[in-house]
Each structure stands twice: as C-alpha cells, then as structure tokens.
A and B are shown apart, each in its own frame.
Chain A
C-alpha cells in the first residue's frame, strides 16, 4: 500500500519547474533579489558565465549568516544490510557484497574512536533493513552514545511517527532523508523495489520527523540521478524553504551529493560538471540563506576546499563508508568510494589555513540525564 502524498508533495505539485530559455536579464533580476522564483535562472546555462559573481554573492551571504566557521561531523555506518533495491547504490539488495551490521557494542567502539579523533557530531548511517536495523536497535544505539556524543543524527530508512518520537526522546538530534530525485517517474525507475520505492512515504517522512520534534532535518537530491538536475535543485530549495516556514523550530540542512562510483556500477544520466556544481551550491545559498549546506567526502579535496569559501557550512572528514570501517576496516562493502581521503586533522588544518574555524562541537546534550557539557 502506498503512502498518501504529504503536504510538501502537494505544494511541490503546484510549482512550475519547466525549463525556459533564460536570458542574461533574467539572471540580473534573480541576482538582485534572490528568490525561489529566480532560482531556475541562476541555475541556467545563462548564469554560467556569471559564475564568479554568483560565487561572490553566495560567499557574502554565507559569511554574514554563518561567520568564518565550518561544522565538522563524521558518518558512522552501522549496517550495509538492505531490503531495498536502488539502481545507483552499493548497498542495494541483491548485490553480491559483504554485508555487516554492527552490534551496539561495536557501534559504541566506532563512536569512541571518532570521539578520540575529535568528532562530537556523529551521523549513524544504515541501509534499509528493518530487522537488522530496527527501531529498537537505533534507540539503543542513541541511548548508548548520548552520554559521550553531544550531537547524534541518523540517515536510515524512513520511520513511523512513533519511532521518530522514541528516537527524539532517546536524545536524537537530527534526521537525514534525501529524496534522491523529486521527479516521480525517475524515482520509480531507480527505486525498483522495497520500502524506499514509495516516493510519497519517503517525501512525507521529513515533515513527520519535524512534527515528532527532530531538531535538525537534512534533505537533498542525488545529482546525476535525474536527467534534469536543475529541477531537482529547485525542488530541494523549495523543500527547504517550505520546511523552514512550516516547522519553524527545525533547523534545515541541504546537500546535493553527486553520484559516485559504487558496487552498483550505475552511471549518471547527465554528469554534473564541477562549474555547474559550484553554480548549483552558490544559487542554493542565495535562495535559502539560512539553510546549512553539507558537503561530504564524495567530492575531491580541491573542490571541497573551494566550496568552503563559497557556500558550504558543514563537512564530513576522514570518512569511512563501510560498517566498522574506523576500527576494523576491510570487513564489509563500502557504500561508495570517498574522494577526499584526508584525515579529519588534515581537513581541520585546511580550514584554519583558509581562515575558517573548524567547529567540532556545536551542541549540548539533549537528554536531561547527561550531567556534563
């Protein structure tokens, strides 16, 4: 049974995302007063010759809102077991890869290793396997980590309202659910079976998580999945603005990961070039000035170093995308291969050299039973 469309899905259906032949004058207008209506022009080929101007404007906005700081986090892959079949993912059901689900003790060991490296913001990541990575399991993980991890988020399958509420009560701070693509037809082609196949359940999960009291929501699209990446960027911006308006207590972060090589062997329909990628993140910053922009180690070091100066406010560093990869590497399949292989300390040193403060801790324990900062 498919889930009914959520409130944002109905809002999105009312937006006009059609391509138009945008002109330089359209770009001027959009730059003068950035808004969702002007975003397609900022993302268009007409704006590409103006990339430096776009980046300068984005940089000014980022500095004003976020200062010279970049928040650092680490992904902690707890499982690559998966019951969903997605054509682009290295964890997809049916792929012949080494599977592993960490015990809660192993999750704690990984987390302690990351804390030792300086991290205070951890993102628990898992494939979609509701038996191996159940609600009870995640609640137990959060409870186990909260005494020594100030900020815990999850990037897993979507959950029921009750489960989101249980996780929040356990001390969960953030939930990340990328829609991957907002194009229904392309979503159906790439999510061929399993829990994730339901577009509307996926899309409405962010609003349900917000209603359950999740403090930070991460949304995003996987660029290269749909032929029209620009429409996906506009949809991400619309989603962020809609969530900020409707759930005013919730902090929204956005990400535009590009498809990476994985065990799936998937090739992007339309590769998004580096210049267009910078264009997309700059335009997103201008239209959603209060949204944090997250950039993972999927992207190469030089690009990450450049984007920090323009739009990015949150980064992972020293990442492993395999369950157990920090303490016992090589024992399971990774989700994708990282491009930026620098250690967290090296990334922090890069930030400092670029005139930014690496922020390791930007949270306090949400659970009343944690007795120290």
Chain B
C-alpha cells in the first residue's frame, strides 16, 4: 500500500482567491502546474476530493483512494461504527480503518434531515475523529438527496459559531452560496447534478456565476460521472471537485480514480493557462476582412 506521506503535503500560506491571471504558479519538474488549494487554512496539492460510499469492499475503497492521489476524503458518520472498530479492527473493521494514513478526514453529516440532526451529528463526529472540519449535508428527501438550502444555512451558522470549519453541500444557487460564505463557511460545495447520478456538470451556468463571485473555494460536489466532467468543472474555474459514485461503481474503481486525478489536474491547468475564445460554429474568422478596404 503506497500512500502519500504526510510530509509531502506542503503547508502553504493562505492563497488569495483571485483570478488565474494574478496567480503565480510554481512549476514542478514534471511541468505540472500544481498550485495549492487552501481549505480552512490548510494547504493541499490535490484538487480532487473523494468519498467512501458505494464501494464493493473496504479494500477496493482503500486502493481507489490511494490511486486518486486525493488528500481529503469524506466519510459518512452514519457508517462509522466505533464499537466495531474497537472490537474487530483490520479486515473486519470499520471504514475508518481503511482510510490511508496521511489523508485528511472530512466527516460528513449524510443522513441528517434537518439542522438539528446535522449539528448533533457534527458534534458526534468531532468527538469521534478530533477534526473541526465537517462536510455539512442536510438531505431530507431520500429519493434525490437534494440538499435543503434553508436547513443547511441554519446548520452552517450554528456550526461556524461552534468553531467548526464548515464545507456545505448545497444547491448550485449563487445567492445561497453568498449566504453560506457570509455565514463563515470554509468553502461552498454546489452540486453538478443529483448526487450519484453520474450526469455531469448539469449546473454549469450557475457554477460559472458561483465561481466568479466566490471568496472561498468552490468545490463542485455530486453528479460528476466521467473524468471529462471533472475537467470541465475545473476549466470553468472550480477550485476542486468531489467524486464518489463515479469511482465506486466503475468496473475498475482504481483505474477510474487515477483517471479522475489526471482529469482534475488537466482541467486546473487548462483553467490557469487561460483558454482562447471559442467562436460560434457559423462565425469562422474571415480571411478577407470586410473592412480591409479601409487600410
């Protein structure tokens, strides 16, 4: 098992959230542009966040997490079983036993249906894992698992007041993202499509606005189905993406995890490089300009 050693994750000062043109990019020997992602004052090199649900086994999950190169992994607290971890350990143990060492654990409140439950679950999670990071999920509709904007904002306000670094899963709604940022959230995590749907960046127009206005990192969470979806989100300017189902239910989750890692990096580099304008298909640039006679 190879994991990224904890020491390889640089601790960098807070990177201002600014336009790509203003950014100074460090070039590594492989000519990869890996500018740091800052989440709640912690620096990360990988911009791919991963989840732990839906995998065929804990062992496959662990291998996929390693292949993803991700540094942040989210774990559903409702799946965490401290008693089991204590009693069984190893192969029969709890999901937490299979998260590679050195990864930053991001407990999530999946299953919470209102702000009260999310806050209580976040507190249990902090007590169990010792991190103040929490991925806030409030999903009262078990069918779509669509995030509840009202209860999410309420929970975010309370959790920030209690000292949590809150990463809220939310609708791709620019105004809601403004509210969540004003409430003190560490990021916003608008959905690309319904969670688990693998339908891609269906919310692209809204994501573009959210990215343009945001003063905290924008992590596109949910719905990305193939690596090119992740690249698209990153090209649009998202600071990171979170992928779970697309990796977990792939025929080869480990290979898919690696593919998402490369696509996320490629999308980021493409964004930083600054794309050329795309012309409408019907408007090819005329080789003989209509105004040439003026010269």
Contact = CB atoms under 8 A, between A and B. Distances in A.
Interface of A: 63-69, 115, 118, 120, 148, 150, 215, 244, 248-251, 290, 352, 355-357, 359-366, 368, 371-373
A118 B120 CA distance: 25
Contact of A249 (B53, B142, B245): B142
B111 interface: yes
A364 B57 CA distance: 21
B249 A64 contact: yes
Contact of A355 (B56, B81, B117): B56
B158 interface: no
Interface string B121-134: 10011011000000
Interface stretch (B11-19, B72-80, B226-234): B72-80
Contacts of B128: 372-373
A69 B125 CA distance: 23
B82 A356 contact: no
A28 to B, nearest CB: 25
B54 A69 contact: yes
Contact of A63 (B78, B82, B249): B249
B252 interface: no
A148 B83 CA distance: 9
Nearest to B141: A248
Nearest to A291: B143
Contacts of A148: 83
Nearest to A367: B120
Interface string B173-187: 000000000000000
A66 to B, nearest CB: 7
Contact of B79 (A356, A361, A366, A371): A361
Contacts of B124: 364-365, 371-373
B249 A68 contact: yes
Contact of B81 (A65, A356, A360): A360
Given A361-B78, A361-B84, A64 B143 contact: no
Contact of B78 (A66, A364, A371): A364
A251 B111 CA distance: 11
Contact of B56 (A68, A248, A363, A366): A68
Given A67-B53, A120-B81, A373-B81, A249 B58 contact: no
B256 to A, nearest CB: 13
Contacts of B127: 372
A357 B55 contact: yes
Contacts of A361: 78-81, 84
B207 to A, nearest CB: 23
A251 to B, nearest CB: 4
Given A67-B54, A115-B83, A361-B84, 18 more contacts: A64-B197, A68-B54, A68-B55, A69-B53, A148-B83, A249-B113, A352-B57, A355-B56, A356-B57, A357-B56, A360-B81, A361-B78, A362-B78, A362-B79, A364-B77, A364-B111, A371-B124, A372-B82
B55 A363 contact: no
B84 A364 contact: no
B37 interface: no
Given A67-B54, A118-B84, A357-B58, A363 B111 contact: yes
Q: Which 10 A-B pairs have the closest CB atoms?
A: A67-B54, A68-B56, A251-B142, A361-B81, A355-B56, A364-B78, A290-B143, A249-B140, A248-B141, A373-B124
Interface in B23-59: 53-58
Contacts of B80: 361, 373
> Most chain-B CB neighbours within 10 Å: which of A63, A68, A244, A359?
A68
Interface in B74-105: 77-84
A102 B56 CA distance: 38
Give the size range of B's interface with the partner: 20 to 34
A34 to B, nearest CB: 16
Chain A interface main SS type: loop
Nearest to A348: B92
A118 B92 CA distance: 10
A74 to B, nearest CB: 15
Nearest to A148: B83
26 contacts: A64-B198, A65-B196, A67-B53, A67-B196, A67-B249, A68-B55, A68-B249, A69-B55, A115-B83, A150-B78, A244-B143, A248-B141, A248-B143, A249-B140, A355-B57, A356-B57, A357-B55, A360-B81, A364-B77, A364-B111, A364-B121, A365-B124, A372-B128, A373-B77, A373-B82, A373-B124
Given A290-B143, A373-B124, A356 B56 contact: yes
B248 A249 contact: no
Contacts of B82: 372-373
Centre residue among B56, B84, B196 by max chain A CB count within 10 A: B56
**Most chain B Cβ neighbours within 10 Å, of A69, A248, A249, A364:** A364
Nearest to B129: A373
A230 B76 CA distance: 38
Contacts of B116: 368
Contacts of A248: 140-141, 143
A357 B98 CA distance: 13
A373 B143 CA distance: 24
B245 A67 contact: yes
Nearest to B145: A290
B79 A359 contact: yes
A118 B142 CA distance: 25
Contacts of A290: 142-143
A291 to B, nearest CB: 9
Contacts of A360: 81, 84
Contacts of B54: 66-69
B77 to A, nearest CB: 6
The interface centre, meaning the residue of A215, A355, A361, A372 with most chain B CB atoms within 10 A of its CB, is A361
Contacts of A215: 113
Interface in B169-213: 196-198
Contacts of A371: 124
